[in-house]
Structure 1
Amino acid sequence: MREEEIIKMLQKLGLTKYESLAYITLLKLGTSKATDLTKESGIPHTRIYDVLSSLHRKGFVDIMHGTPRMYKPVNPELVFEKLKEEIISDIDAIKGALLELYKSIHGEDIPEIWTIHGFENTLERVEYIVRSARREVLINTPLEFLTLLKEEVRKRKNIIFVIVSNFDEIPEWLNKENVILAKSGGAPWLMGTWIIGDIDYALFFGALPKDRRKEKFYSFWGKSPKLIQNYMHWFYTMYFDNSDLIKPVEYEKLKKPFEIANIRTLITILKQTQLPKNIEVIGHFVDTREEATIKGKVIDYEYTSLTANITLVDENGKEWKVGGLGSYFEDVEGEKFILLE
């Protein structure tokens, strides 16, 4: 990368042009005097001390006091790891504040559905779903589109993928312990593409576009837990359950504990291993709506096109029926399922 491009990127992160230039020059020279920096970088002598003091406050430069005063560049790995943490913290804080403002005006239960225009914009949204998921991603799509997600899927190792496609054989990049694969039952099951991340985001579109139609292509993007729980139900009952399992999860190789958002994903995993399994469920009691956290062992499950629940025996020996989001027949509505072993 050229130096001009690095300077522009550093400016985006809050450094001035002179600060960016001084830090880069220090990395080249190593520990240096201010006069040496001025000579090498071209920063005016009248500005160099203010620039270095500012870099010191921002954590990019250490000052070694003495005569003459020396300036040492901080290791970029340390600088940017700290900067990344600060940026993420700031983003989370402002996102939370703005979300509270949004909810105070619009409420929490309004389904959010948008139309996405253009194939490239659709692909960007799908990649975002894969990148941002914390627990699981459900995918039903032709292999042609799935292949476009190769790099994003390859990077994610700590979430579960449940993928339905028209496989002839298992691609090497999908042969991972955290991936469940099913071969679609035929053309009717590939009429639409669904990409669902946790209970946060979902995207749908129909047939893939021809090249000449990519700009006229449309997809639909949704963000609403109550809406997405229906999409998840549709994914399993319409697509996954009518397809042939060709690669189960490699449960013993998965790093524990790990979390699942959807009861049907949980049961799909439990079907591919042996019970009982230690679990922690976080959610609400169905009758009172009070918060519930229950630890115990899964000893059984029920899975049909209409119902999905697990039987959990807690640490005191009491049995609980636990369902997923929107449960009303069970004892507990589970919002987070944590497999502990």
Structure 2
Amino acid sequence: MLQVDDDLVDALMILGLSKKEATVLAYLIMRGSATAKDIMADLSIHQPQLYNVMMSLERKGFVNIQHSKPKVYEPISVGLIMEMIENEASRRKQAIVKAISSLTRGERSRSLVWVTRGIDNIVNNSAALIQEAKSELYISATPMLLGRLLKYIKGLNSRVKVYVFIYPYLDEELLTSLKGIDNVVEVKTNRLGPFSLISPDAESCVFTMIKASLSDRNGAYGYVFRDRAMTLQFIHSLFDAWRRAQTVYRREFKESDYPLVFNSHRFATWEILRAREIGLNIEVKVKGYLTKTGEEVSLIGTPVNVTISSDVVNFELIPKGGGKPILVGGTNALIEDVESEYVEINPLSQGT
């Protein structure tokens, strides 16, 4: 039975398809073509439901039907589907940029974006940002781009934690090189990457859409964002792909690694969850704003009830000295008590 790729389904849903429509289309893309009997058997879909799905996909222009006996369904060009996904992602990005431009809190009112053209310029801008990293570095990249950035990653300050997402394939030699860099905490891989992203401290980034990131020609292009709010939006999207991707390397933290400082609430929450899973007692310091009043707040306490899903990423913090748990979210937090902008993790000594 063919296993449908969840990341491919998620990408197809960007085009406005329902989960069921995206699942069937992903199945056809991966298989090439299929009869209704094949689809029903592999995806456990009843005939009336499949009929409605196929009619919808044909009407929307995603499948062709060979009117033989039995009928054979095949997807339109994969290249065309990828282009449609990229165009829709670009449209959404522009909408996000427009929405973010209205932010006025502190540095968030400062928005600076420019285009970088050609692989060499993308590499140069990425290298410049890597060298700015002080606490964390987030990378989503192809083996080609990552290979050209290795020497800059190796030159990082020892305090910088590096998280790497590699697509569309894993280069074993490159992975060996990454394992030899002490800054690298975790490496994940997936055939379908979300986009290319180089971001130091979640403050700025070089962003390249997936199709452009797979090109080594001078026609490749990306965007440089000197904007914290926009950068965090990209990191939020990256994290959703990150949490579901395959882990190919992970090292545990040493005593000298602490304190772990994060400007990304999502990756801080990821490490809080990892600590709880291995039974490590930790204390967490949070700086941010009360979501109801906008008042600045600084908290220290013990994290509990960590939630990581497609819709929600947060944790509760029991304040040091007692008090009711405080729900901590990230940028644009709505349901949480605190919108955090800084998270610091420290281990507690045994018995504390």
TM over 0.5: yes
8 Å CA contact 1:199–1:224 kept in 2: the answer is no
The aligned counterpart of 2:304 is: 299
Counterpart residue identity of residue 339, structure 1: I
CA distance in 2, matches of 1:273, 1:295: 17
Deviation, structure 1 residue 267: 1.9
The aligned counterpart of 2:270 is: 268
Alignment of 1:267-286 (within 5 A): 267-274=269-276, 275-286=280-291
CA distance in 2, matches of 1:127, 1:168: 21
8 Å CA contact 2:142–2:213 kept in 1: the answer is no
Q: Does 1:209 align with 2:209?
A: no
Counterpart residue identity of residue 251, structure 1: F
CA distance in 1, matches of 2:329, 2:146: 31
Deviation, structure 1 residue 207: 3.0
CA distance in 1, matches of 2:308, 2:107: 33
CA distance in 1, matches of 2:269, 2:107: 32
8 Å CA contact 1:251–1:273 kept in 2: the answer is no
Gaps of 5+ in 2: 1-102, 348-352
8 Å CA contact 1:167–1:183 kept in 2: the answer is no
The aligned counterpart of 1:334 is: 340
Q: Secondary structure at the match of 1:273?
A: helix
CA distance in 1, matches of 2:286, 2:251: 21
CA distance in 1, matches of 2:108, 2:307: 31
Counterpart residue identity of residue 130, structure 1: I
What do residues 33-58 of structure 1 show as CA deviations (whole Å, max 9, x unaligned)? xxxxxxxxxxxxxxxxxxxxxxxxxx
8 Å CA contact 2:108–2:228 kept in 1: the answer is no
145-154 or 272-281: bigger deviation: 272-281
The aligned counterpart of 1:160 is: 161
Q: Among the aligned pairs, what percent are the same residue?
A: 18
Gaps of 5+ in 1: 1-102
Q: Secondary structure at the match of 1:340?
A: strand
Q: Does 1:135 align with 2:138?
A: no
The aligned counterpart of 1:251 is: 253
Q: Does 1:181 align with 2:183?
A: no
What do residues 266-325 of structure 1 show as CA deviations (whole Å, max 9, x unaligned)? 122223323541111111111111111111111231111111111111112121111112
Q: 2:243 aligns with which of 241, 247, 254?
A: 241
Alignment of 1:110-125 (within 5 A): 111-125=111-125
Deviation, structure 1 residue 199: 2.6
Deviation, structure 1 residue 331: 1.0
Deviation, structure 1 residue 111: 3.5
CA distance in 1, matches of 2:107, 2:163: 32
The aligned counterpart of 1:199 is: 202
CA RMSD in angstroms, aligned pairs only: 2.5
The aligned counterpart of 1:232 is: 235
8 Å CA contact 2:113–2:226 kept in 1: the answer is yes
Count of residues in Structure 1 that have an aligned counterpart in Structure 2: 232
Q: Secondary structure at the match of 1:321?
A: strand
CA distance in 2, matches of 1:109, 1:179: 32
CA distance in 1, matches of 2:285, 2:243: 26
8 Å CA contact 2:272–2:303 kept in 1: the answer is no
What do residues 138-194 of structure 1 show as CA deviations (whole Å, max 9, x unaligned)? 1111112111111111122211111011324332343445423344221x226x311
Structure-1-length-normalised TM-score: 0.62
Deviation, structure 1 residue 117: 2.3
The aligned counterpart of 1:290 is: 295
